Chains A and B, each alone.
Chain A
C-alpha cells in the first residue's frame, strides 16, 4: 500500500490511482480516494490543487479544429488514391526511377540487340539536323592484357580495361561531346561548360561537364556501374534521353552523383541504386589535405572533417554524443578503417545506408 500522506501535489498528479479518481472512470478508486480524503483533512488543499492541475493538463486546448483536420486528411487520402505512389513526393524518387525503368525494360532489352546501329542513327540525326561536315567515327578497342589510355579529340582521356571498346567522332562538333563505351573505362574529362560530355553504354547515359569517373558496362555483366571520383555526374537510362528528344519539355528522370558516390544499374531487374564507392577517396585538393590527427577532438569536428574530406553524410545524434571526443592519429587509411577506429575509441557503431553513414552511440562520459 502506498503511503499517500507524504505526497505533494506533483506526486499525486502522476499517481495512476489518483488520475483514475479525477477521471471518474473507476468506482473502486473513487471510493478509496473519497475515504482517504476524509481521513486526511490536512491534505484537502493539496488534493484540490493536484486535481486542478491534472484537469488543466489533461484539457489543454488544441490548436487545430476538426474541420481543419478533415481538410488535411481528405487531401492525404486524395493523394494516395489518385496519384500513383511514385509521383507523390521527392522522398520517393528512387521508386520513381525504378518504375520508369520497369516500363522501359522491354525497350531497353530490344535496344541492346540492335545497339550499334541505334547509336549511329542517333548521331546521324544530330549531324543531319545541324548540317555538319562529314565526321568519321573512331573506334578504339583494347585487346592488350593491360589497361590502355587513349586521348579523345577534346583532350579528355579514357583508361580502357582489357577487352573494352570506345567509339567517338574524329572531332566533337555541335553542343555535345558523345562517346559510346562497351566494357570498363576510367574517364578524365576536360571541363567545357557549354559542351557537356555524354557516355553511352547499352542501357545508361552518363552526362558530365568536366570530371573523373569510372564506368563499368561489360555486356556479360548484369550491372552497369558508374563511380565518380571528382566533379558532378548525371546518369540516366537511355530511354529517358529518347523521350526528351521527342518532347523538348520532357524532364529527364536522372540520378545525380557527387564524388565517392556510385550508381548501379541492374539490367536484370532494371533497378537503379545509389551508394558509396567501396573505397571512398579524399576529394579535397592535395594542397588542402585535411589533417586527421585527432587529439581530444570533439566528435562534431571529427565528423565534420570526414564529411568534408570524403563528401559523405554522417548522421549522428549531436545531443547524445556531445561529450564524445577522439584521440587518434589517423592518416591516409581508407574511410571505413577510420570510421572503425573512431567508433571503437568512443564505443559506438556505424552502419551505411545508401550514401549515408549512420552512427549509433549511447554517448560518452
Chain B
C-alpha cells in the first residue's frame, strides 16, 4: 500500500511537470539526482561530466514534457538515457582508457568513504565497497542497479540493453566473487586476532 501511495504521488508530480510546473520539475530532479549521479560514477570519475549529462537529460525531459508517458517506467528510462549519453561522451573523450587509473586513485581516497561509522557491520560495508570497486565493470553495474535501487532483473536488462539471463549471470558471479573476497579477508583478520 505504501508503494502505491508513493507511486501515485509521483504520478501526480509528473502530471504537474507536464503542465509546465517548474516546482514539480525541481522535485523530480531532486528525487532522481542521487541515483543517476551514483550510477554515473560506475562509468567515470569525472563528476562534472556526469552533472552535465544529468542536466542535459533533465532539460530534455522538460523540453519533451508534453510527450512523456507517465505510465512508462520513468526511472528505467532515465537511467537508460544517462547511461547511453555517458557512454557516448566517454567514447568521444576516450576517457575510458584512463578509467582504471582513476579507480586506483579512488581506493586511496578517504574522502570517498566518508559515510562510514564505527560499527562492525559498517566495517564490513566499508570493506565491501573496496571489493565492489575491484569487480568487473558490468558486475558492478548490475549490483548497483539491483541493490542501490531495487530494480528487477528485467528493468536492469532494459537499461543495459542485454538479456535477462545475462543480468542474472552477472549478478550471481558478482555476488560469488564478493562473497569469496570479503569473507576470506574477514576470516584472515579473525585468524590474525587469534594468533596475537
Contacts and interface: CB of A to CB of B under 8 A. Distances in A.
Interface stretch (B4-12, B30-38, B70-78, B96-104): B30-38
Contacts of B127: 56
B55 interface: yes
A62 B40 CA distance: 11
Contacts of B116: 61
B16 interface: no
A76 B34 contact: no
B185 interface: no
A320 B176 CA distance: 26
Interface in B35-61: 37-38, 41, 47, 51, 54-56, 58-60
A280 to B, nearest CB: 24
Interface in A148-166: none
Nearest to A80: B62
Interface bracket on A: 35 or more
A10 B172 contact: yes
A176 B94 CA distance: 41
Contacts of A61: 112-116, 129
Interface string A316-358: 0101100000000000000000000000000000000000000
A80 B22 contact: yes
B171 interface: yes
B29 interface: yes
Interface string A78-109: 01110001001101100100000000000000
Given A52-B121, A62-B115, A77-B25, A72 B54 contact: yes
A8 B116 CA distance: 28
Given A55-B121, A56-B128, A59-B125, A75 B55 contact: yes
Contacts, number: 123
Interface in A32-65: 49, 52-64
B26 A73 contact: yes
Interface residues of B, number: 46
Nearest to B120: A52
A132 to B, nearest CB: 47
Contacts of A53: 124, 128, 175, 178-179, 182
B56 A91 contact: yes
Interface in A123-172: none
Contacts of B189: none
Nearest to B63: A85
Contact of B59 (A55, A74, A76): A76
A9 B175 contact: yes
Contacts of B144: 60
Contacts of B47: 63-64
B96 to A, nearest CB: 13
A14 interface: yes
B64 to A, nearest CB: 10
Contacts of B60: 91
| Main secondary structure on A side of the interface with B | helix
A80 B124 CA distance: 43
A63 B112 contact: yes
Contacts of A73: 26, 29-30, 33
B43 to A, nearest CB: 12
Nearest to B35: A62
Contacts of B37: 62-64, 69
A121 to B, nearest CB: 39
Nearest to B17: A80
A57 B62 contact: no
B94 to A, nearest CB: 15
B88 to A, nearest CB: 10
A317 B144 CA distance: 23
B124 A52 contact: yes
Interface string B140-168: 00011011100000000000010000000
Interface of A: 8-10, 13-14, 49, 52-64, 69-70, 72-77, 79-81, 85, 88-89, 91-92, 95, 317, 319-320
15 contacts: A10-B172, A49-B182, A53-B124, A56-B182, A57-B143, A57-B148, A62-B34, A64-B33, A64-B38, A69-B33, A73-B26, A76-B26, A77-B29, A79-B59, A91-B60
Given A56-B128, A64-B37, A91-B56, 18 more contacts: A9-B179, A10-B175, A10-B176, A49-B182, A53-B175, A56-B182, A60-B38, A60-B132, A60-B147, A61-B112, A62-B38, A72-B33, A76-B58, A77-B22, A77-B26, A85-B63, A89-B59, A91-B59
